Amino acid sequence: MKKLAVVAFGGNALLRSGQKGTIGEQEQNVHDTCLSLLELIKNDYNIVITHGNGPQVGNILLQNIAGAKVYDIPEMPLDICGAYSQGLIGYMIEQQLRNILEERGIEKDVITIVTEVLVDKNDPAFTRPTKPIGPYYSKEEADKMAAENNSVFAEDPKGRGWRKVVASPKPLVIGNKKSIENLARDGQIVIAVGGGGIPVFYKRPNFLEGIDAVIDKDLASALLATQINADEFFILTDVPKVCINFNTPEEQKLNMISIAEANKYLGEKQFAEGSMAPKIRAAIQFAENSGKCTIITEAKQLGNPDCGTKIVK
């Protein structure tokens, strides 16, 4: 029986440092990352792909703001912007991956599922929004918008201005998880949980509604991997292995670590917040809840038996 893997694309799979984010740049990046998936396909894996959406949803928010100011087009809420981004990124991944498969005579459907993710409207994260989104504003602009629509703004630590901050609640249930698993186990490649999924809650019994929040992509991917009984969870990043004492003379690459060791390194602040730390937490979550292995590595290492850092129970 084929193994089922969830593969979480990192930010550099779509947009790399120094790039403007043109469609040409993003399509080339996606093509290069998708080429690496061939190694998993050759090794008899079924695959579900997840991905981030930070730059893309930020641009959609800017387009919303510009459209409202210049053409009086109603602005869309954050959950709708997240849905936009899932569609456009899913389309790019579908097209580039389909091109690669067809060039090699591999017959598989590639299917994007716009994915809702259930959160708790009483999650403590909603009382202390911390996730910055969208453009930078002056203090005066931020105060004006906060008064007009009850938004919360926070000053950027690097002094670049003020940004809207939203909650980042814990993901609880992945929408359409049975269909995602069934399609993937049938041999199709599924793209799901884009940008961490669209956060939704039950406004009343049996009535879902979107909510202004951003779910951590790696945590949502780990939850998906658990809920569809994946055999392995790959988190793709820009380094071949996780390191401790990173960028120092004592730097050490980690081949395999236990959950206890991973938690110890987190406690020692070995991993940067906003970079490797969220990936380690997601890796721990999957290993702990499934009893199986998370691999953190770069895309071109896929298929290598010694690839990446393995986090195990």
Catalytic residues: 11-12, 131, 217, 279
Pair 154, 132: CB distance under 8 Å:
yes
DSSP string of 69-118?
Answer: HHH-PPPPPHHHHHHHHHHHHHHHHHHHHHHHHHHTT----EEE---EEE
Residue with tokens 């399609």: 183
Task: Compute the distance between CA of residue 216 and CA of residue 22 in angstroms, rounded to an integer.
Answer: 25
Distance separating alpha carbons of residues 185 and 130, to the nearest angstrom: 37
Name residues whose C-beta falls within 8 Å of residue 143's C-beta, 6 or more positions apart in sequence.
153
Rounded distance, CA 206 to CA 217, Å? 26
Who contacts 243 (Cβ-Cβ below 8 Å, separation ≥6)? 251, 252, 253, 254
Query: How far apart, in whole angstroms, are the C-alpha atoms of residue 50 and residue 239?
Result: 18
